[in-house]
Homo-oligomer: A and B are copies of this chain.
């Protein structure tokens, strides 16, 4: 089923208020300035599914029903589906300048649970796969927006989940009942929660028998009893409640801390419960899919930085020509992250479960670049745009509405009227040192973790052997030193 933006907003409006920000309960997330912009941007994707030009990007044929569905509800069974994921993300950034959590991580999580449940059932005789399939069908049938809740608060990192003084720092099963399970704990920094219908919770990795209660995956309505959500405060976020153009109003990110306090999950929505062996595979597939696609997110934002910087050059009264070399570098940065992700898809493989998984080495290499190149692109956008944009160095919109505001507008007038120049400067500010920053360094996992995977997947000793062979060095002539003996 397809739903349009208006229907989507209506469906969200009906949910129980359980989201807080700035010390207050948000009564209606669809109108409260702290969440409304994010929901508006998701609504654009619902609407785009009906736009003939954009529908091929935002919809796909369901492998379950053969019907057209919102892309973010469908199964990804081949490279084309992964490319579609990536292209949708880049287009979403083009529309709103920023990230749309509710059509992203939850969908990917559901796809990877498809595979983990398939393997888990095969080994342990569990019944998860059918539940995942049914829930995916349910998402398609109801055109759901999904948030993906992966990150746990974790607490003291020198200890395992089961050794923490406060067990709630990791989401876990408190009780297994005949008809479902009771879960408690904190998931933090979760994107898109305010705009979703359901949350897909997934476990971290590295768990053993003693931590098995932490190996839990499920789907739950965002407004389920026992769930309390607090939105993070972002950069310059109070502007969302202001009139005027001191920030763009096309979209915004939300990131939430979620408290699961003895929440009941019925069996048909439980997708993993103690089978810690499969949490690693699940996260591995998630990371490979997610990190192959995120290059298109930052590329999409980079494209807007290009457009905004071009606009600033012109509004400053200059041509874009003298900035062409810098613009080229920005475009190259965008295409590198897009390209390495596509390369991961090119080398991807279809799992036995049917899930198509991009090459893990290239996906993680891409994460390292996603954590690096957008920073350079931002600096270039600021370089082109001038001091007015670097730190948003001009009076507020409110000041411009006063009688003394006339002089400000005159002072800003150059290659464009003062107001248009101010808008572009605010856009650059927002993209580079404002709420538009999608957290590309640590969002979706830190680059250090990606480097561990690069280390694990690179054939170091093979390259060493080849080097030796090229120089005819005897097999045992050069070796890693033995550990120094300690007394």
Contacts and interface: CB of A to CB of B under 8 A. Distances in A.
Contact of A343 (B304, B341, B468): B341
Contacts of A231: 395
Given A158-B317, A477-B417, A257 B466 contact: no
A263 interface: no
B393 A232 contact: yes
Contacts of A238: 236, 238-239
A94 interface: yes
Contacts of A245: 471-472
A375 B153 CA distance: 29
A170 to B, nearest CB: 11
Interface stretch (A173-181, A202-210, A265-273, A421-429): A421-429
A173 to B, nearest CB: 19
Max chain B C-beta neighbours (<10 A), residue from A166, A248, A480: A480
Contacts of A371: 383
B250 A157 contact: no
A95 to B, nearest CB: 7
Copies of the chain in the assembly: 4
Interface residues of A, number: 152
A468 B20 contact: no
Interface in A391-438: 391-396, 398-399, 401-402, 404, 407-408, 410-417, 420-421, 423-424, 426-427, 429, 433-434, 437
A383 to B, nearest CB: 6
Contact of A480 (B230, B236, B320): B320
B310 A404 contact: no
A317 B157 contact: yes
Interface stretch (A49-57, A125-133, A138-146, A452-460): A452-460
Contact of A395 (B233, B478, B480): B233
B336 A369 contact: yes
Contacts of A369: 332, 336
Interface stretch (A8-16, A67-75, A442-450): A442-450
Interface stretch (A103-111, A211-219, A278-286, A321-329): A321-329
A303 interface: yes
A179 B460 CA distance: 56
Interface in A324-379: 324-325, 327-328, 331-332, 335-336, 338-347, 361-362, 365-366, 368-369, 371-372, 375, 379
17 contacts: A21-B399, A166-B410, A189-B394, A230-B404, A233-B246, A235-B434, A304-B470, A306-B463, A311-B464, A335-B362, A335-B454, A336-B365, A339-B340, A342-B347, A415-B479, A416-B479, A427-B470
A316 interface: yes
Given A188-B394, A303-B459, A387-B443, 12 more contacts: A228-B404, A250-B470, A259-B404, A320-B480, A331-B365, A331-B454, A345-B346, A379-B441, A390-B443, A393-B439, A417-B477, A420-B477
